[in-house]
Amino acid sequence: MKKYKAILFDLDGTLTESGIGITKSVQQALERMGKPEPDLDKLRVFVGPPLKEQFMKYAEFTAEEADKAIAYFRERYHVTGVYENAVYDGIEDMLKALKEAGYVLAVASSKPEILVNQVLEYFHLEHYFTEKVGSEMDGVRSRKSEVVEEALLRLGLKDDREHVLMVGDKEHDVFGAREAGMNCVAVTWGYGTAEELAESHPMLTINHPKELVDYLI
């Protein structure tokens, strides 16, 4: 009997390489806010965490300033940035194998849910997932643990969470899963640094999607 019934996947940095679209849109927002950042690599920290939280942390914005920066971010991201994206090698083979093995698959992302669905449909991945959960556009349900709890609710697994596994690329995924009473597998191909992943102590760290298949099947 399998230990896990369902697997929740983060989106940005786990299923898709979305960094360029996000960082360019953050760069535009910071420019509009009078805090330009020419080095896109420095803005990789925006991939994954809730945007408002990261704008406040990175640029020392107030909550109101962060909301304004998010509006500038969306002007570019919703039109162009969302499509500056690619599915990581091996992801679709992994999803196909896990689904065929009987696992229930879902997405649990801090990204607004409307964009989660947009990305999955654009790359023709939506059919692998029973539920696709994200945050609300107004920032409600942006913390990872809140997204995970909503996914568990929709899947009918709130009382069976020990049989649900989270997979993500950032410490936020590990901490969010732990807060929800679940294990997390960290992936090294995304935007989390080796140091942050090591310090967050995931149950397992993998270097290629096939390793998750090998572990679970």
Active-site residue identified among 10, 12, 169, 173: 10
Please give the DSSP secondary-structure letter assigned to residue 40.
G
Give phi and psi for 140, each to the nearest 5: -65, 140
CB-CB contact of 206 with 185 (8 Å): yes
Strand-pair partners of 108: 133
Residue 30: closest CA among 16, 8, 15, 45: 45
**Strand duo 183-187 + 204-206: pairing:** parallel
Active site residue 214: no
Other C-beta atoms closer than 10 Å to the C-beta of 202 total: 23
E-strand stretches of 129-189: 131-135, 164-168, 183-187
What residues act catalytically? 10
